[in-house]
Copies of this chain bind each other. A is one copy, B any other.
């Protein structure tokens, strides 16, 4: 697993001697999701990696930095969708579909990182900053939903806030069950979600 779009380095593979920040981060995120951030110690991560505690500090100054890097990987992926010209040009409906497909792609590619982001409770300053970035992202999607409704492509008998929450609920719940590498590819999953959300499950 690599982060921030970096290509895999030879030392990034798990289970091999010699770790880099990326591989330490992957192990940390798995532990945060499993035991909770508070309950995870640098000692536990060192043991998991089979290295000394001081060796971990060689890669990252603190547990908080691991959390910050992990959340930034999830948020950076989501934010970059909105930087794409396809998120800003053309009909709101097509822009909304582009952004939702992008969100599903980031979610499936960076599954443990987005899982961590979605489970945040905001107990620390790092978490609160990440939640604020997530809210900013959510508000931009809500604005797209509003625009699609105003252009007449989205139904107006559901409150726009409910519409946005149902869309997010459907997409975010994917982290609870989707496992990459199985028979359902990320692309087919995105097709399925877009189909249900926009056209519904009823056969016509």
Interface residues on A, range: 35 or more
* Chain B neighbourhood of A165, CB < 8 A: 173, 177
As for how many copies of this chain the complex holds, the number is 2
**Could you say which of B93, B159, B172, B196 contacts A197, with CB atoms under 8 Å apart?**
B196
Contact with B along A90-131 (1 / 0, CB 8 A): 000100000000000000000000000000000000000000
Task: Give A199 to B154 CA distance when docked, in angstroms.
Answer: 12
Interface centre among A162, A163, A189 (most CB of B within 10 A): A162
Q: B203, A153: Cβ atoms under 8 Å?
A: yes
How far, in Å, is A82 (CB) from chain B's closest CB?
20
Residues of chain B contacted by A173 (CB below 8 angstroms): 165-166, 168-170, 172-173
Binding site for B on A (CB under 8 A): 93, 152-159, 162-163, 165-170, 172-174, 176-177, 184, 189, 192-193, 195-203
Task: Return 10 A-B CB contacts under 8 Å, by A number.
Answer: A154-B201, A154-B203, A158-B195, A158-B196, A159-B184, A163-B196, A165-B173, A166-B173, A196-B197, A199-B202
